[in-house]
Chains A and B, each alone.
Chain A
Amino acid sequence: MSKIRKSLSSMSASLVAILAGLIAGFVILLFSNPSSALKGLTTILIGGWNNGMKGVGQVLYYATPIIMTGLAVGFAFKTGMFNIGATGQLMVGGFVSIYVGVTWTFLPGGLHWVVALIMGAAAGMLWGMIVGVFKALLNVHEVITSIMLNYIALYGINYMVKNSHLFDSLKNQTVNVAASAVIPKAGLDRIFYIAKGRLNDPSAVNAGILIAIGLAVLMYIILNKTTFGFELKACGYNRHASRYAGISENRAIITSMAIAGALAGTAGTLMYLAPASGMHIHVEEVLAAQGFTGIAVALLGMSNPLGIIFSGLFIAHITVGGFYLQSLKYMKEIIEVIIGLIIYFSAFSLLVRDLIAKIGKRKTKKDKQSSKEVTA
């Protein structure tokens, strides 16, 4: 009973944040161009469905990396860490996977992308672990370490791209990875497409989304069903009590950041090894936005891995909706504003949730008092 109430109240908090974000977005649309504001809002809400099954496929495609970064942020949250470094871990993972994808062509076809994926995850893991080590052994706050590491990753990767055979100096970006390193489509392109005459116009969806959902389920099991997850969450809630109970908090912090880093690294791999899109690392001085979007995804999903699947899909859904906004003469950046606002409002909604929980508690307390139970 209490568990149902708990999850309901946390869901309602997310819904409040989304609603507030959308209303704010609508107000901006109204100010920009009142006549088509309502149409704009519905376009955002219809999202991928604006373009049939292809649009849905695009939603899945955009959801893939942000589900992964959402997991990276949410998993660390469970151990009490704010992983604002997902973006750096993503870039490091992406870079290594591109390196493997371009260079290790000696690997057989079916194995090449798998190895690239694993190497990318491993690189992200190492990058995340640095944060954990700084926190556990040196007591440096993870947010500060992460911010520094984000920029070190950015400039380091720019340097390495520019000074290696990965560089396509004409386009100022990395060269294409080998075909064998591209993540397979797993038949999804034959489901998510629209017919254009006699030709199929497929979406960019690929096996990455299946990997992301699979990993989310795995994280859910680890967190909720295993002794390891029990330890991680205990550390997140109260590191002193965990230490007292014989749980090694240092180990928990480092492993949790390592796993978070691996998840974000995987986000990078799934992004840069995706087929069709022709994603490349551009040499520019901008941090990958997917890392920060992951914070919104994790917050809306209440750091629950299964919730993160849905919040990731939702954010991708309105992002795709944003592309169709441009036909109404709105700019697609409105979606990023809305996502930012949703994060802002979810900072409130944690409060909303506490409030609901408090009201619930007050009720049970009253029940208790009326049944004349004496508490020591």
Chain B
Amino acid sequence: MDAVYFLVQQMMFFSIPLLIVALGGMFSERSGVVNIALEGIMVAGAFTSILLISLLQSGMSGQILLLIAIAVAIVTGALFSLLHAYAAINLRSDQTISGTALNMIAPASAIYLARMIQPNGVQQVQFTNTFRIEKVPFLGDIPILGRLLFQNAYITTYIGFIIFGIAAFVLYRTRFGLRLRACGEHPQAADSVGINVYKIRYAGVVISGALAGLGGLVYVIPTSTNFNATVSGYGFLALAVLIFGQWKPLRILGAAFFFGLMKTIASAYSGIPFLRDLGIPSDIYKMVPFIATLIALAFTSKRSQAPRASGVPYDKGLR
């Protein structure tokens, strides 16, 4: 039973960032802009916020510092994604190309800046993890559930769930959500009823940037003690989650937990007896999400739920 608790607690560390980033990607793609820059934006968000933590941690610690870092990660991600939004929306350039560019710029800049700012040209940004919550008061004492969710946890986990709830609500229950979906499916229709497609798409991309930036921080905090200008493909994995989840919040939640579980097993299986006995090496578990996505794509592509106008620049002049 301890193994299960351990597994679930660990799984949160891997699943929540995937969930947050994939939900971000959902807002971008459902507004009609493909965002393969999620990886780069995660790196950018993680870099500034971790750097901030490493600079402030001598005088500050715990949840306050984490909340400040979260704000910084969100703002960084949102600002960085503006580059993508400008290229994709105003200039109608190829969204894959500009996304690729961001994915290159972010880690290179992070290393460059880290080495310029830190003494001796060190590229890793070290930080002390003072953010883990041993046990949430009251809630942590609930039988079973308490140990699963409210012990050995981070507030980022709860933030992740809150974001999920808000995202689903915004997408399906609000005017903004309705208009966002219209822009991703049929921007000409949205335009003809007076919706500003450019504005909505900007909103979609910036939300994705904010969430991806946050996701970068959320990924690094529980899994490492330094930041080395990489989120090891997590942005791309989130993209896979988004596709596997068919651009729908609830399915994205499921996919994020499935992929997170695979990652958890890959990194922690040696600590869990029955998995250790299976003898499957960690590299195989790491491959599983990607292979699963490929297989899912192969079977569902004919009736894919991808937003129809996703990736297609909207040109007012051509309406």
Q: By the criterion CB–CB under 8 Å, are A155 and B286 in contact?
A: yes
17 other contacts beyond A152-B287, A155-B284, A159-B283, with CB at 8 A cut-off? A84-B96, A140-B301, A145-B297, A150-B236, A155-B283, A156-B283, A158-B283, A292-B103, A331-B121, A334-B112, A339-B104, A343-B104, A344-B101, A344-B105, A347-B94, A347-B97, A347-B101
* Chain A interface size range: 35 or more
Contacts of B232 in A (CB 8 A): 285-286
* Chain A 332-363 interface mask (CB, 8 Å, partner B; 1/0): 01101101110110111011000000000000
Q: When A145-B294, A340-B105 are in contact, do A348 and B93 touch as well, CB less than 8 Å?
A: yes
Q: How far is the CA of A286 from the CA of B239 in the complex (A)?
A: 18
5 nearest CB pairs, A to B: A340-B104, A336-B108, A344-B101, A340-B105, A159-B283
Q: By the criterion CB–CB under 8 Å, are B297 and A144 in contact?
A: yes
**What distance in Å separates the Cβ of A153 from its nearest Cβ neighbour in chain B?**
9
Identify the closest chain B residue to A289 (Cβ): B104
* Chain B interface size range: 35 or more
* Chain B 104-117 interface mask (CB, 8 Å, partner A; 1/0): 11011101100110
Interface residues of B in 8-38 (CB under 8 A from A): 36
**What distance in Å separates the Cβ of B315 from its nearest Cβ neighbour in chain A?**
11
Q: By the criterion CB–CB under 8 Å, are A159 and B298 in contact?
A: no
Contacts of A32 in B (CB 8 A): 116
Q: By the criterion CB–CB under 8 Å, are A351 and B302 in contact?
A: no
Q: By the criterion CB–CB under 8 Å, are B115 and A295 in contact?
A: no
Q: By the criterion CB–CB under 8 Å, are B236 and A151 in contact?
A: yes
A to B CB contacts below 8 Å, 28 in the list: A82-B97, A84-B100, A138-B301, A140-B301, A144-B239, A144-B293, A144-B297, A147-B239, A147-B240, A148-B290, A149-B294, A151-B233, A155-B287, A159-B283, A292-B100, A296-B104, A330-B116, A331-B111, A331-B115, A333-B109, A333-B111, A339-B108, A344-B87, A344-B102, A346-B97, A347-B91, A350-B97, A351-B92
Chain B contacts to A: CB under 8 angstroms:
36, 83, 87, 91-94, 96-98, 100-105, 107-109, 111-112, 115-116, 121, 230, 232-233, 236-237, 239-240, 243, 281, 283-284, 286-287, 290-291, 293-294, 297-298, 301-302
**What distance in Å separates the Cβ of A375 from its nearest Cβ neighbour in chain B?**
22
Residue A299 is within 8 A (CB to CB) of chain B in the complex? yes
Identify the closest chain B residue to A142 (Cβ): B96
Q: By the criterion CB–CB under 8 Å, are A148 and B293 in contact?
A: yes
Q: How far is the CA of A147 from the CA of B293 in the complex (A)?
A: 11
Interface residues of A in 140-190 (CB under 8 A from B): 140, 143-145, 147-152, 154-156, 158-159, 162-163
Contacts of A138 in B (CB 8 A): 297-298, 301-302
Q: By the criterion CB–CB under 8 Å, are A348 and B91 in contact?
A: yes
Contacts of B293 in A (CB 8 A): 144, 148
Q: By the criterion CB–CB under 8 Å, are B91 and A351 in contact?
A: yes
Identify the closest chain A residue to B34 (Cβ): A143
Q: How far is the CA of A344 from the CA of B290 in the complex (A)?
A: 27
**What distance in Å separates the Cβ of A196 from its nearest Cβ neighbour in chain B?**
27
**What distance in Å separates the Cβ of A329 from its nearest Cβ neighbour in chain B?**
9
